[in-house]
Amino acid sequence: MGVGDSVEGSASQGGAVQGGAAQGGAAQGCAAQGGANEDSGRILLVDDDPALGEYLRRVLTSRGFEVVHELDSEGALQRIMTAHFDLLISDIELPGMNGLELLERARQAAPGLPVALLTGHPSVDYAVTALRGSAAEFLLKPVSATGLIAKATTLIEAGRAARAAGRETVLAIGAHPDDVEIGAGGTLLAHSAGGDSVAILTLSRGARGGDQGQRARESQEAADIIGARLYLDDLDDTCIPEGGPAIDAIGRVIAEVQPGIVYTHSVHDVHQDHRNTHRAAMVACRRVGRVYCFQSPSATIDYHPTRFVPVDSYMGRKLKVIGVFGSQAGIRDYLDPDLITSTARYWARYCDSVHAEPFEVIRDRSHAPAAGAAGADPEEGR
């Protein structure tokens, strides 16, 4: 996937509701209620005919699918950019951006998303364009209820199998709400779009920066956009220790998630919570094969990344993620979208992209066993 296509530079080196994971990526809107089962699959249906769209929605929900119906491509694209779906079913003849154009944009935003295109006016040009755009299926109207259900089931199962075959498990660890999202938001979005399993551990609820309840809600909303599970712990803001409590909190999540990749703070940072989170993570993540450190707004000049992840396709959604932290927008100038964007443009000079996120490399053993493997001693390394 794209996250693995990072570029190595020339310099060197160098969280979460405890135990309660909340699944991210569930958009509501026009989602069907009765009988819907997210395990069966989430389908984004795009058809500008309200009556036909409602009929197709009812057919699909009768077999347990969760369905969101949009009337145009612009609305559908916003859904794709902010939530997880297992299948996109779109009419080709749509106002504005047509279904073939939506297919192309969907491929950029969610490369692993299966797409089925519907049309009542088949042509060779349509079919060729659809196939070149990697549409999984080309369906002719009228489509039978039985045929539609069978195709949806097959495409969702195939998409899930393809994602599982190359799936990574990723954990991002931050001291406060918005730390991870600022430092690695684009990279996590890329992981999620590529089918990887993503989790975010935030060690404190940021009480010194505002209302804890609101900051927790903002963290969950950000995780939903990324498509990540959120673990929100409750260590004391500005007093996160580098020892026992922080190591234990990180260790519990690592034991549950068993990540192959961890992103966390750098030790090169003026904020004591960031430095201590880094030190605690180094102990708790000692069995994780790939460990990388993101840049915080409080990083020092000693921060020297050697890995740069292109995030051009995800900058728009990263800014949406940052934008949900509204309680901090008026008091934290480092959340300014122009600053976030210009920082990403600066780091892109080290790789072949317009926007990039930088990481210090602590460890990069691609074939190391997953963390939490049998025999791990939770007391080792204390």
User: Can you give the CATH number for the domain in which 113 is found?
Assistant: 3.40.50.2300
Helix intervals (H) in 232-358 = 244-257, 272-284, 315-323, 326-329, 337-347
| 204 in Cβ contact with 237 (< 8 Å) | yes
Q: What is the pLDDT of residue 14?
A: 33
Rounded CA separation 190/381 (Å):
32
- 127, containing H or E segment: helix 124-132
Structural domain count of the chain: 2
pTM above 0.75, yes or no: no
Q: Residue 25 is encoded by which pair of tokens? A: 């990526």
Residue 322 and residue 206 share a domain? yes
Residues 192 and 327 both lie in one domain:
yes
Does 278 lie in the same domain as 209? yes
Find the helix or strand (DSSP H, E) in which 140 lies. strand 137-140
Q: How far apart are CA 89 and CA 102, in angstroms?
A: 11
- Residue 173 domain flag: yes
What band does 265 get if pLDDT is binned at 50, 70 and 90? very high
pLDDT tens digits for 9-24?
A: 433 333 333 333 333 3
Mind listing the pLDDT tens digit for each residue in 150-187?
A: 999 999 998 888 777 778 899 999 999 999 999 999 99
Q: Is residue 94 part of a domain?
A: yes
Cα(382)–Cα(380) distance, integer angstroms: 6
Domain that holds residue 218: 11-23+167-364
CA distance 21 to 368: 25
3-state secondary structure of 260: coil
Q: Summarize pLDDT for 352-376 with one digit per residue, the tens.
A: 899 999 999 999 986 444 444 433 3
Which structure tokens are listed for 10?
A: 């020339």
CA distance 325 to 316: 15
